[in-house]
């Protein structure tokens, strides 16, 4: 199926030219790009969150596949919904789902169900695509929406994503190599380079809602501290204990679990 944009013209500009200009205003052309395992990026309307998202996407190397994990605001679909087949459309073009990686993630967790309904009207992943499309015209995604944010669910989703990506990154790449006699080409397997082939995990979350600036800043930095420590359980506990209205804390916890499986050793606050 083709998923049409749900919030074009609302959360971001609805025409290709206008959207490209809107995104371009948030891009930092001087930012140095670095290899990255996972990111946390906001999903409010671009007039609110575009400067943060732009700063994050400007400073990372963008691979050919992205695992997008976001909160389910609509309540539609299964508790953890993965759209495993089809395409997503934005004003900047059509993006294809990576069916092989989607199937690998699904096979690793009974909590993750194949479901498209949760994605039809949800904005948290859709608003990530224009930033990626600004830099890349050809890439694939695996979209996951989380309605269930219990700790055990977040940990399981993170493990499924991390293990599937790790296996994918270490699969041998088979090419033909001529024999010493110059005849009868034989298969030759070489391991893929991990960093060049590894999909990027994007956790989508805004921070505190409906708080004044000073309260929000204090609460948010308690959560940010746990993210910088790469502590998924600590983030989940801190959000709950301090009533932090961070709508995508479940996806963030899952991203941290996966990132640690994939060898993450440090995190950086971009903006």
CATH of the domain at 254: 3.40.830.10
Alpha-carbon distance values, 91 to 10, 96, 136, 159 (Å): 12, 15, 14, 33
Tens digit of each residue's pLDDT (9 = 90 or more) over 131-167: 999 999 999 999 999 999 999 999 999 999 999 999 9
* 11 belongs to a structural domain: yes
* 241 belongs to a structural domain: no
Report residue 39 as tokens: 């990111």
* 242 belongs to a structural domain: no
Per mean pLDDT, which range of 15-19, 28-32, 69-73 is the poorest? 28-32
* 62 belongs to a structural domain: yes
Q: Domain range for residue 91?
A: 2-206+247-261
pLDDT of residue 264: 97
* 270 belongs to a structural domain: no
* 201 belongs to a structural domain: yes
The number of domains in the chain is 1
Percent of the chain residues past pLDDT 90, beyond the cut: 89
Residue written as token pair 């996951």: 144
Distance of alpha carbon 240 from alpha carbon 10, whole angstroms: 31
Alpha-carbon distance values, 212 to 241, 243, 248 (Å): 19, 14, 20
pLDDT of residue 192: 45
Of the pLDDT bands very low, low, confident and very high (cuts 50, 70, 90), residue 39 is very high
* 129 belongs to a structural domain: yes
Q: Quick one: average pLDDT of 181-188?
A: 51
Tens digit of each residue's pLDDT (9 = 90 or more) over 223-260: 999 999 999 999 999 999 999 999 999 999 999 999 99
Of the pLDDT bands very low, low, confident and very high (cuts 50, 70, 90), residue 210 is very high
* 186 belongs to a structural domain: yes
């Amino acid at each position: 199926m083709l998923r049409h944009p749900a919030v074009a013209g609302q959360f971001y500009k609805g025409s290709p030219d206008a959207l490209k200009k809107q995104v371009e205003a948030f891009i930092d052309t001087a930012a140095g790009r670095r290899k990255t395992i996972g990111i946390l990026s906001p999903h409010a309307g671009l007039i609110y969150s575009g400067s943060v998202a732009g700063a994050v996407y400007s400073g990372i190397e963008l691979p050919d596949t992205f695992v997008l994990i976001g909160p389910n605001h609509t309540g539609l679909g299964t508790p953890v919904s993965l759209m495993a087949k089809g395409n997503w459309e934005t004003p900047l073009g059509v993006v294809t789902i990576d069916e092989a990686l989607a199937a690998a993630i699904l096979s690793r967790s009974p909590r993750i169900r194949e479901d498209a309904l949760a994605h039809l009207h949800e904005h948290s992943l859709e608003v990530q695509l224009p930033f990626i499309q600004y830099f890349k015209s050809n890439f694939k995604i695996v979209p996951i929406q989380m309605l269930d944010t219990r700790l055990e669910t977040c940990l399981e989703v993170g493990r499924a994503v991390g293990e599937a990506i790790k296996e994918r990154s270490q699969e041998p790449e088979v090419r033909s190599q001529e024999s010493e006699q110059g005849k009868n080409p034989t298969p030759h397997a070489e391991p893929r380079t991990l960093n060049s082939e590894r999909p990027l995990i994007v956790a989508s979350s805004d921070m505190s809602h409906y708080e004044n600036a000073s309260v929000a800043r204090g609460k948010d930095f308690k959560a940010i501290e746990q993210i910088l420590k790469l502590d998924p359980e600590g983030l989940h506990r801190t959000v709950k204990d301090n009533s932090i209205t961070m709508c995508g804390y479940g996806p963030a916890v899952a991203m941290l679990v996966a990132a640690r499986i994939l060898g993450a050793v440090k995190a950086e606050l971009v903006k």
